[in-house]
Structure 1
Protein backbone atom coordinates (compact mmCIF):
# COMPACT_ATOMS: atom_id res chain seq x y z
CA UNK A 1 0.00 0.00 0.00
CA UNK A 2 1.15 3.49 -0.80
CA UNK A 3 2.35 5.75 1.98
CA UNK A 4 -0.04 8.58 2.79
CA UNK A 5 0.98 12.11 3.66
CA UNK A 6 -0.93 15.21 4.68
CA UNK A 7 -0.42 18.56 3.01
CA UNK A 8 -1.84 21.53 4.88
CA UNK A 9 -2.20 25.07 3.60
CA UNK A 10 -4.43 27.77 2.20
CA UNK A 11 -6.30 27.19 -1.06
CA UNK A 12 -5.15 30.04 -3.30
CA UNK A 13 -6.60 28.98 -6.66
CA UNK A 14 -9.32 26.58 -7.70
CA UNK A 15 -10.37 25.73 -11.24
CA UNK A 16 -13.11 23.38 -12.32
CA UNK A 17 -12.97 21.55 -15.63
CA UNK A 18 -15.88 19.63 -17.14
CA UNK A 19 -15.53 17.05 -19.90
CA UNK A 20 -18.41 16.56 -22.33
CA UNK A 21 -19.01 12.97 -23.44
CA UNK A 22 -21.16 12.13 -26.43
CA UNK A 23 -22.40 8.68 -25.38
CA UNK A 24 -25.95 8.64 -26.85
CA UNK A 25 -27.94 8.44 -23.63
CA UNK A 26 -25.46 6.44 -21.53
CA UNK A 27 -23.56 7.85 -18.59
CA UNK A 28 -19.76 7.86 -18.76
CA UNK A 29 -17.89 5.36 -16.59
CA UNK A 30 -15.80 7.80 -14.56
CA UNK A 31 -16.13 11.30 -13.19
CA UNK A 32 -16.43 13.91 -15.90
CA UNK A 33 -15.36 16.79 -13.70
CA UNK A 34 -11.98 17.57 -12.28
CA UNK A 35 -10.63 20.32 -10.09
CA UNK A 36 -7.18 21.84 -10.19
CA UNK A 37 -6.13 23.07 -6.74
CA UNK A 38 -3.21 25.30 -5.85
CA UNK A 39 -2.25 25.14 -2.17
CA UNK A 40 0.15 27.47 -0.37
CA UNK A 41 1.59 25.87 2.79
CA UNK A 42 2.66 28.17 5.63
CA UNK A 43 6.28 27.45 4.69
CA UNK A 44 7.29 26.51 1.19
CA UNK A 45 6.21 26.88 -2.39
CA UNK A 46 2.76 26.54 -3.89
CA UNK A 47 1.73 23.04 -4.93
CA UNK A 48 -0.72 21.93 -7.61
CA UNK A 49 -3.08 18.97 -7.23
CA UNK A 50 -5.75 17.54 -9.51
CA UNK A 51 -8.87 15.89 -8.09
CA UNK A 52 -11.21 13.90 -10.36
CA UNK A 53 -14.53 14.36 -8.59
CA UNK A 54 -17.79 16.25 -8.53
CA UNK A 55 -17.59 16.91 -4.79
CA UNK A 56 -15.11 19.52 -3.57
CA UNK A 57 -16.16 21.29 -0.35
CA UNK A 58 -13.70 24.20 -0.60
CA UNK A 59 -13.30 27.68 -2.05
CA UNK A 60 -10.36 29.99 -2.51
CA UNK A 61 -9.03 31.27 0.79
CA UNK A 62 -10.12 28.25 2.83
CA UNK A 63 -7.63 26.46 5.05
CA UNK A 64 -7.50 22.82 3.94
CA UNK A 65 -5.54 19.63 4.36
CA UNK A 66 -5.13 17.09 1.58
CA UNK A 67 -4.39 13.43 2.19
CA UNK A 68 -2.33 12.26 -0.79
CA UNK A 69 -0.24 9.28 -1.79
CA UNK A 70 3.50 9.84 -1.45
CA UNK A 71 4.36 9.30 -5.10
CA UNK A 72 5.95 11.34 -7.86
CA UNK A 73 2.46 12.30 -9.06
CA UNK A 74 0.38 12.28 -5.85
CA UNK A 75 -3.20 11.06 -5.91
CA UNK A 76 -5.59 13.01 -3.68
CA UNK A 77 -7.50 10.58 -1.45
CA UNK A 78 -9.04 12.94 1.08
CA UNK A 79 -9.73 16.60 1.74
CA UNK A 80 -10.43 18.27 5.08
CA UNK A 81 -11.65 21.88 5.03
CA UNK A 82 -10.85 23.48 8.39
CA UNK A 83 -12.54 26.79 7.49
CA UNK A 84 -16.02 25.27 7.27
CA UNK A 85 -15.31 22.03 9.18
CA UNK A 86 -16.19 19.76 6.27
CA UNK A 87 -14.33 17.08 4.42
CA UNK A 88 -14.56 14.20 2.03
CA UNK A 89 -12.84 10.83 1.79
CA UNK A 90 -12.48 10.24 -1.96
CA UNK A 91 -11.44 6.64 -1.40
CA UNK A 92 -14.92 6.04 0.01
CA UNK A 93 -17.12 8.49 -1.90
CA UNK A 94 -16.16 7.69 -5.50
CA UNK A 95 -17.68 4.74 -7.33
CA UNK A 96 -15.53 1.60 -7.05
CA UNK A 97 -13.90 0.07 -10.10
CA UNK A 98 -14.55 -3.59 -9.32
CA UNK A 99 -13.93 -4.66 -12.92
CA UNK A 100 -10.94 -3.14 -14.70
CA UNK A 101 -10.43 -2.63 -18.42
CA UNK A 102 -7.50 -5.05 -18.53
CA UNK A 103 -9.68 -7.86 -17.13
CA UNK A 104 -11.27 -8.39 -20.54
CA UNK A 105 -8.05 -8.98 -22.55
CA UNK A 106 -6.88 -11.23 -19.71
CA UNK A 107 -10.07 -13.27 -19.97
CA UNK A 108 -9.70 -13.50 -23.76
CA UNK A 109 -6.17 -14.88 -23.39
CA UNK A 110 -7.39 -17.30 -20.71
CA UNK A 111 -10.13 -18.50 -23.07
CA UNK A 112 -7.64 -19.14 -25.87
CA UNK A 113 -5.26 -21.01 -23.57
CA UNK A 114 -8.03 -23.15 -22.07
CA UNK A 115 -9.44 -23.94 -25.53
CA UNK A 116 -5.98 -24.85 -26.84
CA UNK A 117 -5.10 -27.09 -23.89
CA UNK A 118 -8.42 -28.79 -23.11
CA UNK A 119 -10.46 -28.24 -26.28
CA UNK A 120 -14.26 -28.26 -25.86
CA UNK A 121 -13.99 -28.98 -22.13
CA UNK A 122 -11.80 -25.90 -21.73
CA UNK A 123 -14.42 -23.73 -23.44
CA UNK A 124 -17.12 -25.08 -21.12
CA UNK A 125 -14.95 -24.63 -18.01
CA UNK A 126 -14.13 -21.08 -19.08
CA UNK A 127 -17.60 -19.81 -18.08
CA UNK A 128 -17.50 -20.83 -14.39
CA UNK A 129 -13.81 -19.92 -14.27
CA UNK A 130 -14.62 -16.43 -15.55
CA UNK A 131 -17.40 -15.99 -13.01
CA UNK A 132 -15.11 -17.15 -10.21
CA UNK A 133 -12.31 -14.82 -11.37
CA UNK A 134 -14.60 -11.79 -11.60
CA UNK A 135 -16.13 -12.55 -8.19
CA UNK A 136 -12.74 -13.00 -6.49
CA UNK A 137 -11.25 -9.94 -8.23
CA UNK A 138 -14.27 -7.80 -7.33
CA UNK A 139 -14.22 -8.87 -3.69
CA UNK A 140 -10.46 -8.36 -3.47
CA UNK A 141 -10.69 -4.88 -4.96
CA UNK A 142 -13.59 -4.02 -2.68
CA UNK A 143 -11.62 -5.10 0.40
CA UNK A 144 -8.58 -3.10 -0.78
CA UNK A 145 -10.79 -0.05 -1.34
CA UNK A 146 -12.30 -0.38 2.14
CA UNK A 147 -8.83 -0.67 3.72
CA UNK A 148 -7.63 2.38 1.79
CA UNK A 149 -10.70 4.37 2.90
CA UNK A 150 -10.02 3.39 6.52
CA UNK A 151 -6.38 4.51 6.20
CA UNK A 152 -7.50 7.86 4.75
CA UNK A 153 -9.94 8.32 7.66
CA UNK A 154 -7.11 7.59 10.11
CA UNK A 155 -4.81 10.05 8.32
CA UNK A 156 -7.50 12.75 8.42
CA UNK A 157 -8.03 12.11 12.14
CA UNK A 158 -4.27 12.31 12.76
CA UNK A 159 -4.09 15.60 10.85
CA UNK A 160 -6.99 16.95 12.91
CA UNK A 161 -5.23 16.01 16.15
CA UNK A 162 -1.95 17.54 14.92
CA UNK A 163 -3.63 20.82 13.99
CA UNK A 164 -5.58 21.01 17.26
CA UNK A 165 -2.34 20.53 19.24
CA UNK A 166 -0.56 23.15 17.11
CA UNK A 167 -3.49 25.57 17.54
CA UNK A 168 -3.45 25.11 21.33
CA UNK A 169 0.27 25.90 21.53
CA UNK A 170 -0.11 29.11 19.52
CA UNK A 171 -2.60 30.67 21.92
Structure 2
Protein backbone atom coordinates (compact mmCIF):
# COMPACT_ATOMS: atom_id res chain seq x y z
CA UNK A 1 0.00 0.00 0.00
CA UNK A 2 2.88 2.39 0.80
CA UNK A 3 4.38 1.84 -2.68
CA UNK A 4 1.07 2.75 -4.32
CA UNK A 5 0.88 5.95 -2.26
CA UNK A 6 4.43 6.91 -3.28
CA UNK A 7 3.57 6.29 -6.95
CA UNK A 8 0.46 8.46 -6.73
CA UNK A 9 2.47 11.20 -5.00
CA UNK A 10 5.13 11.12 -7.71
CA UNK A 11 2.49 11.28 -10.46
CA UNK A 12 0.70 14.17 -8.74
CA UNK A 13 3.95 16.10 -8.26
CA UNK A 14 4.97 15.49 -11.89
CA UNK A 15 1.56 16.66 -13.11
CA UNK A 16 1.78 19.81 -10.97
CA UNK A 17 5.25 20.59 -12.35
CA UNK A 18 4.02 20.11 -15.92
CA UNK A 19 1.14 22.51 -15.29
CA UNK A 20 3.54 25.13 -13.88
CA UNK A 21 5.92 24.80 -16.83
CA UNK A 22 3.14 24.96 -19.41
CA UNK A 23 1.54 27.95 -17.67
CA UNK A 24 4.58 30.00 -18.64
CA UNK A 25 4.37 29.01 -22.31
CA UNK A 26 2.09 30.89 -24.67
CA UNK A 27 3.33 29.25 -27.85
CA UNK A 28 5.22 32.32 -29.03
CA UNK A 29 8.91 33.03 -29.15
CA UNK A 30 10.72 36.35 -29.33
CA UNK A 31 13.72 34.86 -31.15
CA UNK A 32 13.90 31.63 -33.08
CA UNK A 33 16.04 28.75 -31.94
CA UNK A 34 18.78 29.39 -34.52
CA UNK A 35 19.71 32.75 -33.03
CA UNK A 36 21.74 33.68 -29.98
CA UNK A 37 20.56 36.19 -27.44
CA UNK A 38 21.84 38.90 -25.14
CA UNK A 39 20.25 40.26 -21.98
CA UNK A 40 17.85 43.17 -22.38
CA UNK A 41 19.66 46.50 -22.58
CA UNK A 42 22.18 48.38 -24.69
CA UNK A 43 25.30 46.57 -25.89
CA UNK A 44 28.29 48.09 -27.69
CA UNK A 45 30.11 46.14 -30.37
CA UNK A 46 30.55 45.50 -34.06
CA UNK A 47 28.09 44.27 -36.67
CA UNK A 48 29.87 42.33 -39.40
CA UNK A 49 26.87 40.99 -41.33
CA UNK A 50 23.18 41.76 -41.63
CA UNK A 51 20.70 39.82 -43.76
CA UNK A 52 17.37 38.02 -43.54
CA UNK A 53 16.37 39.67 -40.28
CA UNK A 54 19.54 38.64 -38.47
CA UNK A 55 22.83 40.31 -37.71
CA UNK A 56 26.23 39.02 -36.72
CA UNK A 57 27.50 40.90 -33.67
CA UNK A 58 30.69 40.83 -31.63
CA UNK A 59 30.36 42.53 -28.28
CA UNK A 60 33.15 44.88 -27.18
CA UNK A 61 34.01 47.24 -24.35
CA UNK A 62 34.75 50.90 -25.01
CA UNK A 63 36.90 52.88 -22.57
CA UNK A 64 37.73 56.59 -22.72
CA UNK A 65 40.07 58.98 -20.94
CA UNK A 66 42.12 57.71 -18.01
CA UNK A 67 40.16 54.48 -17.99
CA UNK A 68 41.24 53.83 -21.61
CA UNK A 69 44.89 54.25 -20.62
CA UNK A 70 44.52 51.95 -17.61
CA UNK A 71 42.65 49.22 -19.52
CA UNK A 72 45.13 49.30 -22.42
CA UNK A 73 47.97 48.88 -19.91
CA UNK A 74 46.16 45.91 -18.31
CA UNK A 75 46.04 44.29 -21.75
CA UNK A 76 49.73 45.00 -22.39
CA UNK A 77 48.93 47.57 -25.09
CA UNK A 78 50.42 51.00 -25.68
CA UNK A 79 48.61 54.12 -24.53
CA UNK A 80 45.74 54.72 -26.96
CA UNK A 81 46.38 57.67 -29.31
CA UNK A 82 42.76 58.84 -29.66
CA UNK A 83 41.69 58.84 -26.00
CA UNK A 84 39.67 55.63 -26.40
CA UNK A 85 40.45 51.93 -26.13
CA UNK A 86 38.42 48.99 -27.42
CA UNK A 87 38.44 45.50 -25.99
CA UNK A 88 36.66 42.99 -28.19
CA UNK A 89 34.95 39.96 -26.69
CA UNK A 90 36.91 36.72 -26.83
CA UNK A 91 33.71 34.83 -27.59
CA UNK A 92 32.36 33.81 -30.95
CA UNK A 93 30.28 36.33 -32.88
CA UNK A 94 26.58 36.12 -32.05
CA UNK A 95 23.71 35.77 -34.51
CA UNK A 96 20.87 37.97 -33.27
CA UNK A 97 17.31 38.39 -34.52
CA UNK A 98 16.37 41.94 -35.56
CA UNK A 99 12.83 43.29 -35.36
CA UNK A 100 11.48 44.42 -38.75
CA UNK A 101 10.61 47.78 -37.22
CA UNK A 102 13.84 48.24 -35.25
CA UNK A 103 14.98 51.84 -34.99
CA UNK A 104 18.17 52.53 -36.92
CA UNK A 105 20.32 55.64 -36.69
CA UNK A 106 23.55 56.33 -38.53
CA UNK A 107 25.99 59.22 -38.33
CA UNK A 108 25.11 62.08 -40.65
CA UNK A 109 27.97 63.39 -42.77
CA UNK A 110 26.99 67.05 -42.39
CA UNK A 111 26.63 67.21 -38.62
CA UNK A 112 28.08 63.98 -37.20
CA UNK A 113 24.69 63.66 -35.48
CA UNK A 114 22.37 60.64 -35.57
CA UNK A 115 20.32 60.39 -38.76
CA UNK A 116 17.33 58.07 -39.03
CA UNK A 117 17.62 55.12 -41.37
CA UNK A 118 15.75 51.82 -41.65
CA UNK A 119 16.27 48.09 -41.32
CA UNK A 120 15.78 47.78 -45.09
CA UNK A 121 18.39 50.45 -45.87
CA UNK A 122 20.86 48.92 -43.42
CA UNK A 123 20.36 45.44 -44.92
CA UNK A 124 21.06 46.91 -48.38
CA UNK A 125 24.19 48.59 -47.04
CA UNK A 126 25.52 45.28 -45.70
CA UNK A 127 24.55 43.51 -48.93
CA UNK A 128 26.84 45.91 -50.80
CA UNK A 129 23.97 47.67 -52.56
CA UNK A 130 25.38 51.09 -51.85
CA UNK A 131 26.12 53.76 -49.31
CA UNK A 132 23.52 55.18 -46.94
CA UNK A 133 23.01 58.64 -48.45
CA UNK A 134 24.00 61.61 -46.31
CA UNK A 135 26.01 59.55 -43.85
CA UNK A 136 29.50 58.28 -43.21
CA UNK A 137 28.21 54.71 -43.68
CA UNK A 138 29.88 53.77 -46.92
CA UNK A 139 29.48 50.25 -48.28
CA UNK A 140 33.20 50.10 -48.95
CA UNK A 141 34.05 51.55 -45.57
CA UNK A 142 32.99 48.96 -43.00
CA UNK A 143 36.25 48.44 -41.18
CA UNK A 144 37.89 45.08 -40.80
CA UNK A 145 36.26 44.97 -37.36
CA UNK A 146 32.73 45.75 -38.57
CA UNK A 147 30.20 48.54 -38.10
CA UNK A 148 30.59 50.07 -34.62
CA UNK A 149 27.19 50.30 -33.00
CA UNK A 150 25.12 50.26 -29.86
CA UNK A 151 22.36 47.69 -30.16
CA UNK A 152 19.30 47.68 -27.95
CA UNK A 153 17.92 44.25 -27.08
CA UNK A 154 14.43 43.59 -25.74
CA UNK A 155 13.08 40.08 -25.11
CA UNK A 156 16.00 38.55 -27.02
CA UNK A 157 15.44 40.63 -30.17
CA UNK A 158 17.40 43.65 -31.43
CA UNK A 159 14.97 46.58 -31.45
CA UNK A 160 17.46 49.40 -32.00
CA UNK A 161 20.78 50.01 -33.74
CA UNK A 162 22.72 53.24 -33.36
CA UNK A 163 25.99 53.73 -35.19
CA UNK A 164 28.77 54.71 -32.79
CA UNK A 165 31.28 57.29 -33.98
CA UNK A 166 34.90 56.24 -33.52
CA UNK A 167 37.58 58.71 -34.58
TM-score with structure 1 setting the length: 0.25
Structure of higher CA gyration radius: 2
- Greater share of strand residues, 1 or 2? 2
- Greater share of helix residues, 1 or 2? 1
Structure ranking higher on relative contact order (CA contacts 8 Å, 6+ apart) = 2
TM-score with structure 2 setting the length: 0.25
